[in-house]
Every structure is written in C-alpha cells, then in structure tokens.
C-alpha cells in the first residue's frame, strides 16, 4: 500500500505549524480508493502517533487498513514531514543569524560566554548569614549567651537614646503648645514660635545623626563579633568592653498580664484542608488592640532567651510573618513616622537593611512595576490605534504612572526583620479607607493580596502567618454585626481556598503544616466575637478529638 504525501504550507510564515495531508491507499475491496487525514506538523504537544492513527482508523474505510502497516506508514510520514519542517525552520533561523552577524561584521562562530554559562556557584566569601547560622549552631552556650547579651545591651543603648530624644521633643512641643495657648493667637509671637520650631528641627536632626551613628557602630560591632566567633570561636574582649554583663541589667521575662486580652476571642483549632488528601493545620482566632501589637517588643520581651529564639529561627525554614494594613505610599512609614516605624527604631536592625532602606527598595521595585504596566497600557493603546479603534480610557495616564512610586490597592510589599517580637517577615497589604466600610466580594484586590501573602509564605517556608480577619485595624461606627460576619465569612472561605491551593500537588511525605492566626480588633461586641467563633467550625473541617 504505497502512500502519497501532500503538504500544504499554511500562510507565508513558516514558523507556524503546517497542516499536512496524509493519504494512504485503501484495500481494493473498499469503495473509497484513498483514505486521507490532516496531520499538523509538528505534532502539537501531548498528541502522539497513536492519536492520529486512531483518527485514520476512524475514517469510513480506515478500519480495513492493516493496523501495523498503517502505523508504520503514518510514522514515517510524520517523521519525514517533521524533519522537513525542522530543516525549514533551521534554515530560516540560520540565515537570519548569518545575515545579522555579517551586518555587524562579527565572525559567524565564536566561543560564546553564553554557552559556558552554568549554574552560578556559591560566592567564594561566606556570606554573613551563613557565618551567623554556623555560630548559632556550633558555638558554646557561653559564647552564644555573650552574643545575645550584646544584643540586649545594644537594644538598651538604642532605646535609651530614642527615649531621650522623645523626651526632648516632647518638652519642646509642650512649650510650643503652651505658648500658643497663652497667647491664644499663633500669629502673636511668630519669632518665638519659629525659634522653637527651629530648635525642634535641630533636635530631630542631631538625634537622627546620633541614631544613625549608633546603629552603624552597633551593626559593625555585631558583625565583627559574629565573624570572630566564626573564625576563632571567641569574641574579642574589646568588643565587650562597654557591654554591661551584669545579670541585674538584663531584663527578666515578665509574666504576660492576661487582663490585656481577656476581651474578644482567643481560641485555637486544628483543621483539615483538602478533599481527598487532607493536610492538618492550626488556626487561631486572636484579638489585639492594634495589628502592630503583634510584632511589638514590650519591656521585658527583649531577653537573652527571646533573642536566642530569634537567632535560631531567623535563617531557618520555619519563619513567622504578620500582616499590616498600609496606605499606598511605602514611604508613609517613615514620612509620618508610623507605629510600625516606631517599633522598628527601638533597636538596631543587625541583620537586614534598616526599614528605611528596605522601603526605598520597595519604592524602586514599584517604579519598575509601574513602568512595566505603563508599557503595557501604551502597547495596548497602540494596538487599538493600529486597528483603527479608540484606545480604552485609562484611570491613570501611562505617563503619570511612570512617575508613580506608590503601590496599588491589593499589592503586598514585604520587609524582613530581626528585631521584632517573634516575627521575621512583615507583609504590608496596601488598602484604602473604603475597606473599612464597604462589602467586598472574592475578587476584591485585597483578597488577591491575601492570596499572594499565603502563596509567598508557602514559597518561602513561612509557616506561621497572621491575617487581619476583618481587614481593618480598628473598628468604627460602620463596623456593624452584619458587616463583621459577612467580612469574616468571606475571609474564612477565601483563606481556606488559598490554603488548599498551596497544599496541592505535594507529595504525601512533604505535606505542609501552617499556623494561621486570624486577627480581630478589640472593642467589638461580645455577640460579634461569639458569632465569629461559632461560624468557624461551619466553614472549616475540624479535626475531631483535637479541637473541641
């Protein structure tokens, strides 16, 4: 049965797949003389010879063909046509490359660095994080304790300085206020007031230099100490000179006053996620006054043991993260000295960039992203124009977007910290005021933001995360019972879905386990807390016997 092959190249662009017609002679007793099918060359991914053979056999006379013979003919046909296709493509690419290189006057073939480009090897110098990990794992407990005491002492230094500054600023502001109050008219003593203001500015500047100096020197000292522990196994005495190693000076952990959070719900559940293969997770409902409370180090939190805990977790595969709700401009933290900023400045960030520097990087990344988006808008507009249509109206013109370093609602920017309480990662979810009162659906950008938080957490081994259940920091008059329940239900359901997503496609042995904390603001009515607590088991599947 000799077969004939005909090939129709579709269109002038040879790079697209071609449709080739395979023709095979039918056995003589069939009414049809030939059986023909179209085969795309190259075969589309995930289709195989057998599939086209099935197609051939499904033709009216196809079942009379000898299976193996037909298979061999079709195989040869596809192979030969694919070789031809590949050759055409190779020729085209080769010619283009030759032309390009000839135009540029380059030799056609030259040793290429590209071809030698292999997986980047580890950097020859050991990075600080590895030294630190080594030190934490290998040092004697004595050395480690000394290092932690250094941290405690440094924190005290910094806190004292900040406190002094705050006191001075406070005094000046009070004077200012007093002056204004006395006269009742701010325009009366412009000279005095501007003097005070000038003084205030000076205090700020002086202190900011001092703080920067102190933090630089602390960082340098700390790094030296770790370096020396890494290489020599001891800390040079010079670094410890001014460190007060007096036991008395080291704060003792203070028993947490349970009265603070007696209000609201504080309960934990163990849940299953998934329909067939179930993974187990812990979920807590917690109530706090402000979201920043979750990462705030209180007096007495900063002990050698809490520092040691941070040291062991910092570069581990078991990170903790919390979520803050922030406005669009990442620099707001610095510019209007947010609560979070105030928490961060209490001690030197010894491992990562300072908050300010990290936020600057976020702003740069934002600009790149906004540029990219502007490019897309321009491209789309150009496409519309080329098709003779009016480009769609954009909320922000692309030119304005290019200048914009701020985030969009639903974006998440991330900062890393070694000087917070129990968390290393902070997710800053960008929100606006409307979130305080509107009803949202599952396609709201902020929920996409929550999803990104969970996906990022999963990708970077962050097993403990805090999520504001109502997506608000503090309740106000619009926080009604109905609103709260609706919002809570939405968050519960979405987070459940997101958890399922990050747990899928895993091997049974490597199923992840997450601790998710849903954070509620204090000051809601007991009815709301109770209703939310009762809603939980209706949405999540509790592990029987573990949760009550």
Partner 1 sequence: MGSFPKFGAFVLRAQEKSGRTCINGLPVASPSKQMLGRFPYLQSLRHDNLCVYLHFSETVIARDLVIVVMEHHTTTLGNALKSGDLKDESTKNSYYIEISSALEYLHRNAVTHGFLDISSVFVTRNKKSTVKLSGYGLPFLTNHGKDIASSLKFDVFLAPERILNEDESLLAATYQSDVWEMGFVLLQIYLGITLVPDVSETEYLEILNKSFSSPSTAKEYSIMDDITQLLAEKKRLPYHKKCDWLEEVIRSCLRIQCSERPLIPEVASSIRENTTETPTVESKTDNNDEYKIKTVDEMRAKVRENIAKDSDGFEKLSLENSFHLWKTCGSTPEIILLKKGTIQNHAPISSYPSIRYDDFNQVDPGVDSQSTFDYGVFELPQQRTLERIEKEQKVSAKMFHKIGIINNPDHHLNGNILYETASEMLTMDHLLNATAVFGVSSVIPHLSKNGVISTQRADVWCTLLDINETKWRDYLNLDILAPHSSDRQLEVDIPRCHQYDSFMTTPAIQESLRKVLKGWQIITEADNYVYWQGCDSLATPFLLANMSKPHIAYACFKEFTHRYCHKFYLKDNSEVIKEYLGIFYHLVAYVDPVLYKHLKNNGFDAELFAIPWFLTCFAHELPLAKLVRLWDETMLHGNAFPLMIALAMLNRLRDKLLAVSFNEMIIIIHDQPDLSIEDIIRNARGYESLIPPSCTFRTHASPWKENCSGEVFRLPNTMTGLSLGDLSQLHCPRLSSEELLWRIERQMIYVIDTRQESEYQAEHFTISFNHPNNNEADIEWLRFIPGIVKSELPKCFIYGKNDKTVTEKLAETYVMKGVPYVCVLHEPFESVKNRSPFVIKS
Residues 51-90 that bind partner 1 (CB under 8 A): 51-55, 57-58, 62-63, 67, 75, 78-80, 82-84, 86-87, 89-90
Q: Which residue's CB is nearer to partner 1, number 91 or number 198?
A: 91
Considering the rule CB under 8 A, would residue 501 count as an interface residue with partner 1?
yes
- In the complex, minimum distance from the CB of residue 432 to partner 1, in angstroms, rounded to a whole number: 15
CA-to-CA separations, 423 to 4, 289, 360, 426, 495, in angstroms, rounded: 71, 18, 21, 7, 20
Q: Which residue's CB is nearer to partner 1, number 32 or number 501?
A: 501
CA atoms within 13 A on the CB side of 286: 20
Q: Which residue's CB is nearer to partner 1, number 83 or number 254?
A: 83
- In the complex, minimum distance from the CB of residue 223 to partner 1, in angstroms, rounded to a whole number: 16
In contact, 56 and 40? CB cutoff 8 Å: no
The token pair that represents 11 in the structure block: 């269109």
Rule CB under 8 A: choose which of 34, 129, 182, 530 binds partner 1: 129
CA 270/CA 103 separation, integer angstroms = 68
Which one of 126-134, 182-190, 393-401, 523-531 is the stretch in contact with partner 1 (CB under 8 A)?
126-134
Reduced to 3 states, what is the DSSP secondary structure of residue 135? Answer: helix
Nearest to 414 by CA among 310, 330, 297, 315: 330
CA atoms within 13 A on the CB side of 386: 6
Rule CB under 8 A: choose which of 13, 317, 395, 433 binds partner 1: 317
In contact, 226 and 128? CB cutoff 8 Å: yes
Q: Which residue's CB is nearer to partner 1, number 316 or number 336?
A: 316
Give every strand in the sheet of 18-25, ordered side by side: 3-8, 18-25, 34-41
Rule CB under 8 A: choose which of 4, 15, 108, 438 binds partner 1: 108
128-138 vs 190-231: helix crossing angle, rounded to 10: 60
Nearest to 335 by CA among 400, 413, 403, 406: 406
- In the complex, minimum distance from the CB of residue 130 to partner 1, in angstroms, rounded to a whole number: 8
141-183 vs 128-138: helix crossing angle, rounded to 10: 120
Which one of 14-22, 137-145, 505-513, 520-528 is the stretch in contact with partner 1 (CB under 8 A)?
505-513
Q: Which residue's CB is nearer to partner 1, number 108 or number 220?
A: 108
Task: Report the site for partner 1 in 318-347 (rule: CB under 8 A).
Answer: 319
Considering the rule CB under 8 A, would residue 544 count as an interface residue with partner 1?
yes
Q: Which residue's CB is nearer to partner 1, number 169 or number 506?
A: 506
Please name the helix (run of DSSP H) or strand (run of DSSP E) that holds residue 255, with its range, or none: none
Task: Report the site for partner 1 in 148-177 (rule: CB under 8 A).
Answer: none
Nearest to 285 by CA among 259, 258, 265, 264: 265
Question: Is the CA virtual torsion 321, 325, 331, 336 positive or negative?
Answer: negative
Which one of 218-226, 255-263, 467-475, 499-507 is the stretch in contact with partner 1 (CB under 8 A)?
499-507
Which one of 27-35, 119-127, 177-185, 249-257 is the stretch in contact with partner 1 (CB under 8 A)?
119-127
Nearest to 226 by CA among 303, 150, 156: 150
Q: Which residue's CB is nearer to partner 1, number 144 or number 502?
A: 502
How many residues bind partner 1 (CB under 8 A)? The answer is 101
Residue with tokens 């590895």: 130
Task: Quote the distance between the C-alpha of residue 402 and its chain's center.
Answer: 23
CA 505/CA 507 separation, integer angstroms = 7
Task: Report the site for partner 1 in 258-287 (rule: CB under 8 A).
Answer: 272, 274, 276-278
- In the complex, minimum distance from the CB of residue 416 to partner 1, in angstroms, rounded to a whole number: 6
Strand-pair category, 425-430 with 412-416: antiparallel
Considering the rule CB under 8 A, would residue 494 count as an interface residue with partner 1?
no
Residues whose CB falls within 8 Å of the CB of residue 169, separated by 6 or more in sequence, listed in order: 200, 203, 204
6 beta partners: 21
The token pair that represents 118 in the structure block: 């292999």
The token pair that represents 328 in the structure block: 């669009």
- In the complex, minimum distance from the CB of residue 273 to partner 1, in angstroms, rounded to a whole number: 10
Considering the rule CB under 8 A, would residue 390 count as an interface residue with partner 1?
no
- In the complex, minimum distance from the CB of residue 315 to partner 1, in angstroms, rounded to a whole number: 4
Rule CB under 8 A: choose which of 6, 13, 105, 118 binds partner 1: 118
Considering the rule CB under 8 A, would residue 388 count as an interface residue with partner 1?
no
Q: Which residue's CB is nearer to partner 1, number 6 or number 123?
A: 123
Alpha helices, H only, 41-140: 49-57, 67-103, 113-116, 128-138
The 422-461 contact track toward partner 1, x by CB under 8 A, reads --xx----------------------x---xx-xx--xxx
- In the complex, minimum distance from the CB of residue 166 to partner 1, in angstroms, rounded to a whole number: 30
Rule CB under 8 A: choose which of 340, 413, 518, 540 binds partner 1: 413
Task: Report the site for partner 1 in 170-229 (rule: CB under 8 A).
Answer: none
CA end-to-end distance (rounded Å), the chain: 75
CA atoms within 13 A on the CB side of 548: 1
Residue with tokens 């602390």: 218
The 30-49 contact track toward partner 1, x by CB under 8 A, reads -------------x-xxxxx
Rule CB under 8 A: choose which of 30, 414, 440, 485 binds partner 1: 414
Which one of 138-146, 300-308, 506-514, 525-533 is the stretch in contact with partner 1 (CB under 8 A)?
506-514
Rule CB under 8 A: choose which of 506, 531, 535, 539 binds partner 1: 506
């Amino acid at each position: 049965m000799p077969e004939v092959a005909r090939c129709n190249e579709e269109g002038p662009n040879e790079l697209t797949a071609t449709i080739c017609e395979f023709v095979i002679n039918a056995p003589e007793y069939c009414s049809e003389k030939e059986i023909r099918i179209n085969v795309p060359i190259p075969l589309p991914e995930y289709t195989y010879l057998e599939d086209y053979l099935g197609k051939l056999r499904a033709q009216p006379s196809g079942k009379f063909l000898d299976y193996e013979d037909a298979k061999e003919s079709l195989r040869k046909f596809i192979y030969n046509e694919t070789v031809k296709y590949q050759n055409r493509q190779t020729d085209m690419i080769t010619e283009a490359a030759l032309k390009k290189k000839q135009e540029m006057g380059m030799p056609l073939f030259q040793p290429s660095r590209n071809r030698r480009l292999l997986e980047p090897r580890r950097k020859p110098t050991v990075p600080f994080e590895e030294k630190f990990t080594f030190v934490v794992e290998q040092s004697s407990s004595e050395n480690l304790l000394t290092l932690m005491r250094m941290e405690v002492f440094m924190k005290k230094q910094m806190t004292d300085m900040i406190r002094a500054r705050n006191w001075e600023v406070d005094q000046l502001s009070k004077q200012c206020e007093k002056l204004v109050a006395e006269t009742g008219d701010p325009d009366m003593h412009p000279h005095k007031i501007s003097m005070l203001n000038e003084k205030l500015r000076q205090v700020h500047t002086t202190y900011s230099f001092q703080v920067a100096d102190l933090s630089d020197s602390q960082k340098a000292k700390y790094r030296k100490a770790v370096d020396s522990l890494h290489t020599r196994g001891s800390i040079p005495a010079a670094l410890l000179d001014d460190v007060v190693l007096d036991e008395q000076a080291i704060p003792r952990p203070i028993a947490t006053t349970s009265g603070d959070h007696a209000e609201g719900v504080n309960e934990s559940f163990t849940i299953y996620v998934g329909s067939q293969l179930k993974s187990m997770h812990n979920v807590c409902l917690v109530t706090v006054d402000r979201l920043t409370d979750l990462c705030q180090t209180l007096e007495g939190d900063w002990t050698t043991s809490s520092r040691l805990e941070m040291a062991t977790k910092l570069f581990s595969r078991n990170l903790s993260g919390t979520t803050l709700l922030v406005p669009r401009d990442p620099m707001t933290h610095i510019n209007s000295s947010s609560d979070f900023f105030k928490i961060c400045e209490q001690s030197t960030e010894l491992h990562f960039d300072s908050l300010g520097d990290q936020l600057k990087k976020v702003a740069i990344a934002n600009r790149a992203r906004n540029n990219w988006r502007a490019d897309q808008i321009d491209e789309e507009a150009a496409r519309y124009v080329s098709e003779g249509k009016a480009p769609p109206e954009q909320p922000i013109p692309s030119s304005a977007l290019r200048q914009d370093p701020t985030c969009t609602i639903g974006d998440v920017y991330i900062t890393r910290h070694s000087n917070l309480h129990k968390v290393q990662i902070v997710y800053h979810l960008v929100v606006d005021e409307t979130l305080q009162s509107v009803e949202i659906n599952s396609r709201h950008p902020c929920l996409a933001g929550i999803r990104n938080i969970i996906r990022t957490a999963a990708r970077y081994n962050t097993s403990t995360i805090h999520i504001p259940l109502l997506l608000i920091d503090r309740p106000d008059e619009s926080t009604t019972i109905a609103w709260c329940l609706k919002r809570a239900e939405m968050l519960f359901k979405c987070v459940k879905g997101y958890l399922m997503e990050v747990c899928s496609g895993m091997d049974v042995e490597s199923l992840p386990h997450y601790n998710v904390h849903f954070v509620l603001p204090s000051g809601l009515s007991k009815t709301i807390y109770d209703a939310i607590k009762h809603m939980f088991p209706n949405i999540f599947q509790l592990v029987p016997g573990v949760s009550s």
